[in-house]
Amino acid sequence: MPYIAGYLAFREAPALLDLLTRLKETKPELYPQIAFVDGNGTLHPRRFGLACHFGVLADIPCIGVAKNFLEIPTESLTIKDTKQVSREHLHGAGAWLPIVGKMTHDLLGAALRASSESVNPVFVSPGHRVSLATSVALAAACCKYRVPEPVRAADSASRQLVREITARSQ
């Protein structure tokens, strides 16, 4: 499936659901009470990003964590504005700022500064069966570096596998 901004769930959710099914079959004791997803939850043009899509289909609490801001034109939320506001208002580690739609005034997510070292925030938003406050608290609690460890570890492991497969076919 191609990557198309705003439609990430249609590319990624099937693979995530398959992983969860396999985990339940092979290591049921490790089945998660809640999941972090590399992408957005309600911070999305249709307020239904990968974390929502996956969370509903898997029926588990899910939190979205994105490393880059996805513009939401209908709410006048731009990457430029968001980064600007984040730079000015996010100071210490754990500091966060709510991201509110400028048209609907709905609370869609938050910009979180994970550590004092990381200037660029991560964008946290609830996916399913979890509040924004809990999403931000859990994400912040899992941050050793900029990206929460569950997401960072999964990202690292997947890249390692790709490297091995690539090297194998040389």
Specify whether the CB–CB gap between 71 and 77 falls below 8 A: yes
CA angle in degrees (0–180, nearest 5) for 62-83-38: 25
For DNA, give the closer residue by CB, 40 or 135.
40
For DNA, give the closer residue by CB, 46 or 129.
46
DSSP 28: G
Shortest reach from residue 4's CB to DNA, in Å? 7
Shortest reach from residue 25's CB to DNA, in Å? 25
Shortest reach from residue 159's CB to DNA, in Å? 7
Instruction: Tell me the C-alpha distance between 130 and 62, whole Å.
Output: 7
Q: Tell whether the torsion through CA atoms of 23, 25, 30 and 35 is positive or negative.
A: positive
Question: In degrees to the nearest 10, what's the CA dihedral of 45, 51, 53, 59?
Answer: -150
For DNA, give the closer residue by CB, 9 or 138.
9
Shortest reach from residue 28's CB to DNA, in Å? 27
Point out which residues bind DNA (CB under 7 A): 3, 5-9, 38-40, 44, 49-51, 64, 66-71, 73, 78-79, 155, 159, 162
Residue among 69, 63, 68, 58 nearest 31 (CA): 58
Shortest reach from residue 41's CB to DNA, in Å? 8
Residue 1 burial (CB < 10 Å; 0-12/13-18/19+)? exposed
